[in-house]
């Protein structure tokens, strides 16, 4: 008997629909689900209606029209949201999706049903007809994340909002933000780079809507200079009397009180059940012997056999206990756990492993710690190292592959994240960072939720990401609101406006290109408020000559692409940069 070949269309329908992360458990059925103008979202309980409301918002944002949320029986073409706590096999984030005459999404929790709707949105990104079939989709790891150091420098809120939406769209659930919230208790610490509490509340609310837990970090006891540069009384001082503005003196009760008061102030804004204290690179490039007070503190507290490292661990544990008293878990980086201590870190502390040191991930897990993989190979550093996502994909990288050790089991591994650092703050603009980030974000989503290598080649995996596109509500921050040309900016100046490849503009006059080039540098960025804008020799590679034209009533604001400060005009006519909450930005009509 001769068997006729299966038509190409039928073969295609047998494959799982294209999503990121990829579906690995797809049972095809005959027919298809059709989304149309009569589609409704059926949801009865409070948990179901919350998921349905977010889905309705996103369908509208994605251009699929306004879809009503209703109670009661479903009809053909409807989307059914179903939260069934008894479906324990789905876990807290898994879901079942069934496409037929109607489409149903079932989760044991609201979070699980929510992730099912992310898959639905990706399926609809390719058209209103979805092949009939069923999938049960459960994440392999509980922590799937991105870390952003908006430390020292300022990363714009629209950029962070885009990130939250993209993370949720790809089923990532944890955003670590190392950043400064403008302090009411310690105004001496409010150097620029900060965010207002209202700005962060807005971001946290978006994260809660999209099931992205936003975990704050104030790095300590090292890297504290954004907080203590104006507090010399809290700075660690060596035996020569030289103060270290980046290091907190962990032997001083006032230093601990200062740090925990900042934690308490952050609790007014952040709702996460985790706190990250950093705890990395405290004595980078230094010898504890130059700080005899550290050893004395340790020995006074733990006896003559104590080491200077015990004083460091003691500080970590005291921060842990303060957080635990508020119902919050502690997270730290791994490099401070060198094995030189005799006092252990509290074992319910999550260790985020980024650097290969003497104490390996397997040892930490054996000692009872939960370990997250935040490998250096997953780093994206402005003006520096960039993760080779293609190579990682080709290696079938997964969260068991730590720096210095590949584990045979996922036991004790919470998950993994990519990390963004601003070491050379002017090395790249936000928009340039985004171009690098999206492939890395999709890869970490795939590696933490599903199988690490769903497609034969990296090019095919990239095409998968392109097919699902960006999240509903994602804003194209590279759009310039005016055409290239010569404009007069109010009564201030006339300049040629030209779009840059990364979606900003340069302003060129006979005197040169408008730039911020003076003032004190932090991470190679002039972050000093009040610095005057100058007309410098034009240089297409100089990111400090790139500007965002921000629409405002009556014209446009000018925001520097790197410093993220807006220009204002002083009484004597000078054009200077200031944080927008310190001086109202100038608004220029363009003619």
> What does the angle CA 380 – CA 384 – CA 388 come to, to the nearest 5 degrees?
50
Exposure string over 5-16, b if 16+ CB within 10 A, otherwise e? eeeeeeeebeeb
Distance CA 266, CA 375 (A): 27
Active site residue 13: no
Query: In the numeric block, which tokens belong to residue 111?
Result: 């979070």
Query: In the numeric block, which tokens belong to residue 240?
Result: 């020569």
Distance CA 107, CA 114 (A): 8
In the chain, % helix, strand, coil (3-state, to 5) comes to 30, 25, 45
Kindly report the number of other CB atoms within 10 A of residue 159's CB atom: 18
How many angstroms separate the Cα of 391 from the Cα of each of 378, 440, 457?
A: 11, 11, 11
Tokens 């620029």 found at: 192
Distance CA 95, CA 211 (A): 14
Kindly report the number of other CB atoms within 10 A of residue 22's CB atom: 19
Distance CA 114, CA 52 (A): 8
Task: Single out the residue of 51, 208, 71, 49 nearest to residue 115, CA to CA.
Answer: 51
Q: Are 293 and 250 in contact (CB under 8 A)?
A: no
- Kindly write down the DSSP assignment for every residue of 476-489, as one continuous string: -TT--SS-SEEEEE
Q: Are 79 and 42 in contact (CB under 8 A)?
A: yes
Q: Which of 199, 208, 265, 281 is catalytic?
A: 281
How many angstroms separate the Cα of 367 from the Cα of each of 338, 400, 454?
A: 14, 17, 34
**Helix (H/G/I), strand (E/B), else coil: 63:** coil
Q: Are 117 and 189 in contact (CB under 8 A)?
A: no
Distance CA 252, CA 261 (A): 15
Distance CA 246, CA 224 (A): 5
Sheet strands (E) in 377-532: 379-381, 401-402, 405-406, 413-421, 485-489, 493-499, 505-509, 512-515, 521-522, 525-526
Catalytically active residues are 281
């Amino acid at each position: 008997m001769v068997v006729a070949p299966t038509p190409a269309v039928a073969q295609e329908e047998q494959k799982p629909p294209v999503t990121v992360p990829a579906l690995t458990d797809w049972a095809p059925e005959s027919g298809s689900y059709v989304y149309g103008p009569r589609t409704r979202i059926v949801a009865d309980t409070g948990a179901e209606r919350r998921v349905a409301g977010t889905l309705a918002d996103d369908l509208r944002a994605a251009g699929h029209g306004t879809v009503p949320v209703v109670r009661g029986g479903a009809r053909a073409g409807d989307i059914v949201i179903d939260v069934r706590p008894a479906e324990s096999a789905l876990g807290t984030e898994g879901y079942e999706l069934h496409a037929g005459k109607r489409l149903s999404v079932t989760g044991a929790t609201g979070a699980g049903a929510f992730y099912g709707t992310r898959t639905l949105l990706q399926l609809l990104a390719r058209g209103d007809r979805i092949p009939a079939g069923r999938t049960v989709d459960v994440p392999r790891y509980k922590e799937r994340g991105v870390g952003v150091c908006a430390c020292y420098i300022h990363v714009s809120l629209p950029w962070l909002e885009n990130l939250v939406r993209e993370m949720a769209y790809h089923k990532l659930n944890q955003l670590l933000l190392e950043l400064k919230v403008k302090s009411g208790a310690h105004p001496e610490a409010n150097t620029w780079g900060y965010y207002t509490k209202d700005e962060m509340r807005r971001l946290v609310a978006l994260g809660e809507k999209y099931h992205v837990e936003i975990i704050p970090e104030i790095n300590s006891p090292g890297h504290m200079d954004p907080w203590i540069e104006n507090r010399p009384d809290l700075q660690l001082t060596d035996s020569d009397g030289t103060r270290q503005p980046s290091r907190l003196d962990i032997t001083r009760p006032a230093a601990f009180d200062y740090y925990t008061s900042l934690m308490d102030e952050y609790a007014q804004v952040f709702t996460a059940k985790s706190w990250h204290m950093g705890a990395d690179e405290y004595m980078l490039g230094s010898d504890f012997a130059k700080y005899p007070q550290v050893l004395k503190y340790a020995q006074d507290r733990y006896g003559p056999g104590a080491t200077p490292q015990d004083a460091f661990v003691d500080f970590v544990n005291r921060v842990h206990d303060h957080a635990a008293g508020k119902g919050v878990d502690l997270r730290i980086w791994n490099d401070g756990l060198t094995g030189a201590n005799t006092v252990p870190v509290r074992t319910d502390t999550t260790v985020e492993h980024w650097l290969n040191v003497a104490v390996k991930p397997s040892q930490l897990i054996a000692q009872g710690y939960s370990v997250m993989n935040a490998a250096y190979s997953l780093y994206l550093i402005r003006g520096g190292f960039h993760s080779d996502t293609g190579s990682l994909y080709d290696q079938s990288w997964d969260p068991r592959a730590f720096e210095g050790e590949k584990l045979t089991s996922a036991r004790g591994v919470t998950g993994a994240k990519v990390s963004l650092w601003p070491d050379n703050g002017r090395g790249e603009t936000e928009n340039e960072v985004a171009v690098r980030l999206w492939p890395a974000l999709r890869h970490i989503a795939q590696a933490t939720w599903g199988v690490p290598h769903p497609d034969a080649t990296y090019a095919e995996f990239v095409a998968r990401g392109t097919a699902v596109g960006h999240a509903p509500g994602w804003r194209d921050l590279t759009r310039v609101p005016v055409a290239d040309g010569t404009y007069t900016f109010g009564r201030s100046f006339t300049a040629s406006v030209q779009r840059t490849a990364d979606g900003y503009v340069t302003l060129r006059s006979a005197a040169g290109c408008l730039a911020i080039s003076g003032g004190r540098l932090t991470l190679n960025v002039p972050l000093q408020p009040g610095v005057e804008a100058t007309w410098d020799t034009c240089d297409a590679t100089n990111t400090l000559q790139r500007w965002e034209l921000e629409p405002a009533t009556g014209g446009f604001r000018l925001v520097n692409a790197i410093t993220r400060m807006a220009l204002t005009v002083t009484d004597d006519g000078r054009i200077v940069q200031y944080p927008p909450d310190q001086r109202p930005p100038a608004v220029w009509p363009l003619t």
